[in-house]
Chain A
Amino acid sequence: MALAQAKTDTLRARTADLSAGGSGWLGAARRDAAARLAAMGLPTKRDEYWRYTDPASLTQAAPIPAALFDAGDEAPVFDGIEAVKLVFVDGVFDAGQSDDPALAGVEITHLSAVDGVDIHWARDIYGVLETRGQIPVQRPLATLNTAYATEGFLIRATAKAERPVSFIYLHQSETSDALIHHCIKIDQGAELTVLENGPAAARVTKVMEVEVADGARFHHIRAQGRDHERRAVTHVFARVGAGALFKSFTLTANGCLTRNEQVIELVGDDGVAHVAGAAVGDGTFHHDDTVFMTHEGLRCESRQVFKKVLMNGAVGVFQGKILVKPGAQKTDGYQISQSLLLDGDSQFLAKPELEIYADDVKCSHGSTSGAIDETALFYLQSRGVPKRVAQSLLVLAFLAEAIGEIEDETIAEDIRSRLEGWLQRHEH
């Protein structure tokens, strides 16, 4: 089917300065993606999947410039956590600022190092999980990334990693436009934690494909920087094996536009997948969590816990789906999306969906939107707690279930203190 001229024009403009280059398996994967993208076109706000979030600033040729943000003397998130640090500046890997990518039991390879190579483990992941994630809903910005990203890492854990791998994304140019693509494979019985922090660029389009083999464990904790004007669209595609664990938590504070898509398939029996997010925004803040959780194996457990705190006209979006395929008996699926509106100007748009084709399953979903509990506020104040401290306590309590999804207590504490800091800066 021919795309509408407008869609074709948008795609041509968006990709004018990009090239689906390279040879070997990677080049082939890129060319395949470019062809798929040409058939799909880029999304517009008329697409059902983009009903609540206008993708125009993500699909236009050049990014809208984003002012650089000075975090003052606040240490970066995860700074205190010992990890292999890999630094990107405006989406480009900077070896000089990074640690030597050496970690026992983990192979860490930059994408550029496999260009021209014929065979590599990542061949079964790069663009492959992304392609699977296009059904039943198209995600063209992920395909754009697969076709044109030249930055990113291929990480394979063959054992339990001693330390996390920590990606640090610095934003230093007001007009930077980044495409970052990581592939991660956790071998059977292995375990790895991946941390990500920073805004990355004025505009960033990201993909992370994760294969969690049988009995493997993967933890992902990220923070998306404090820059007010940055725009980000991110995708996590994960395939979770039998008895495997996949956990992902995202902290979003500020940012003018954020769309975080997570597409997770529980393909083996007894797998566990938890995705969670805490988002806090003031004013020009549009934050969209879009999750697609597919249950295929028996007795799998999935949780989606998304909490947003919105003020001064901030907008929160949640589109979350649990799909239970035929035969995925004893599925335990849970989904909650909630927003705390600190004033009357903010809004929360939620579209929770269940689609179930097995009869012996337990699935629940809930979505709420509300103001701070005045009775609880008064109770705290009546005990001498100043109003702003009381408010902050209640907001953190609201976010607690999401933060509770982080397994490592040191990391959880770091996230909690960032949120406390944000709340202190945004007293109202």
Chain B
Amino acid sequence: MLEIKNLHVKLEEEDKVILRGVDLTIGAGEVHAIMGPNGSGKSTLSYVLAGREGYEVTEGSATLEGEELLEMEPEERAAAGLFLAFQYPVEIPGVGNMTFLRTAVNAQRKARGEEELSAGDFLKIVREKAKTLKIDSEMLKRPVNVGFSGGEKKRNEILQMAMLEPKMCVLDETDSGLDVDAMKLVSEGVNALRDQGRSFLVITHYQRLLDHIKPDFVHIMAAGRIIKSGGPELALEVETNGYADLLAEAQ
């Protein structure tokens, strides 16, 4: 599904190198988790995949189902099936959440040559999905993420994901700021989307999320590289021992 090869990234405006050769292959239907110390480059990886400006890829590639992602505009990557749930979802005053969702869904359908959803059909689907995420209709009417609590913003990300039905979902610390119940809700939302054709890359600091969303593989990122990969047990190890041993081992 997603294949990242020897990815090197620096900041466009500065000489700061952030990613130093990331290799990662995610098969269809697999769930991978990335853990790692603050500032190790996890969010940068997700932004570069999604196409945010300000980063320069100096080496390497990233393909989604064989297509080179790094050459595409952000909206083309989305239409190709990539989705990023932001660590810090963006507030957009003046743009209603509903308008936002409908514009996004229909833009992607159009890009794929599918017919746009009618207002009625769209409304029905949103209401249903919002309900399972306990997002009330009041929240749908408000401007995108404006005045949402931290947890509400994260649930809104998952709602967008559910509406857009991407193939490759990257979740950047979607668990942070969630209370225990919200974490369950969000995990259920993710698990409901798990299937053969859809893959996940879950960035998190906590084992707790991985109790709900069981990963097939866990990777540890440090200083812009994946320094260790393993099964779910790796996350448990981090939870109990921290990163010190892993970092020392990698040196």
Contact = CB atoms under 8 A, between A and B. Distances in A.
Interface string A372-401: 011110111111111101100110111011
Nearest to A386: B75
B92 A381 contact: no
B86 interface: yes
B171 interface: no
Q: Kindly name the residue among A379, A385, A386, A387 whose own CB sees the greatest number of chain B CB atoms within 10 A.
A: A379
A374 B90 CA distance: 11
Contact of A382 (B84, B94, B99, B103): B84
B95 A385 contact: no
Contacts of B90: 375-376, 378-379
Chain A interface bracket (under 10, 10 to 19, 20 to 34, 35 or more): 20 to 34
B110 to A, nearest CB: 9
B52 interface: yes
Contacts of A397: 92-95, 143
A370 to B, nearest CB: 13
B53 interface: yes
B91 to A, nearest CB: 8
Given A378-B53, A378-B74, A389-B103, A384 B108 contact: yes
Interface string B94-111: 110001100111011001
Given A374-B53, A389-B107, A381 B94 contact: no
A376 B53 CA distance: 12
Contacts of A396: 94-95
Given A384-B108, A384-B111, A386-B107, A379 B78 contact: no
Nearest to B79: A384
Nearest to B95: A397
Chain B interface bracket (under 10, 10 to 19, 20 to 34, 35 or more): 20 to 34
Interface in A344-392: 373-376, 378-387, 389-390
Nearest to B93: A397
Given A378-B52, A378-B53, A383 B164 contact: yes
Given A382-B84, A384-B104, A398 B74 contact: no
A384 B53 contact: no
B86 A383 contact: no
A385 B163 CA distance: 14
B174 interface: no
A400 B94 contact: yes
Nearest to B104: A383
Contacts of B143: 397
Contacts of B83: 382
Contacts of A382: 50-52, 74-75, 77-78, 83-84, 86
A380 B53 contact: no
A56 B161 CA distance: 57
A387 B51 contact: no
A385 B103 contact: yes
A400 B52 CA distance: 27
Contacts of A375: 90
Nearest to A378: B52
Contacts of B91: 376
Nearest to B109: A384
Nearest to B103: A385
A373 to B, nearest CB: 8
Contact of A383 (B52, B93, B100): B100
A382 B46 CA distance: 11
B164 A384 contact: yes
B50 to A, nearest CB: 5
A25 to B, nearest CB: 48
A379 B108 CA distance: 14
Contacts of B92: 373, 376, 379-380, 394, 397
Q: Kindly name the residue among B91, B95, B160 whose own CB sees the greatest number of chain A CB atoms within 10 A.
A: B95
Nearest to B112: A384
A380 B78 CA distance: 10
B86 A384 contact: no
A16 to B, nearest CB: 49
B51 A381 contact: yes
Contacts of A380: 92, 100, 103-104
B135 to A, nearest CB: 16
A378 B75 CA distance: 9
Interface of A: 373-376, 378-387, 389-390, 393-394, 396-398, 400-401
Interface of B: 50-53, 73-75, 77-79, 83-84, 86, 89-95, 99-100, 103-105, 107-108, 111, 143, 160, 164
Pairs A-B, 7 closest by C-beta atoms:
A397-B94, A384-B78, A381-B74, A383-B104, A384-B108, A379-B90, A400-B94
12 contacts: A378-B51, A378-B52, A382-B51, A382-B52, A382-B74, A384-B75, A386-B107, A387-B73, A394-B95, A396-B95, A398-B94, A401-B94
Given A373-B92, A384-B104, A384-B108, 11 more contacts: A379-B86, A380-B100, A382-B75, A383-B104, A384-B107, A384-B164, A386-B73, A390-B75, A393-B100, A396-B94, A400-B94
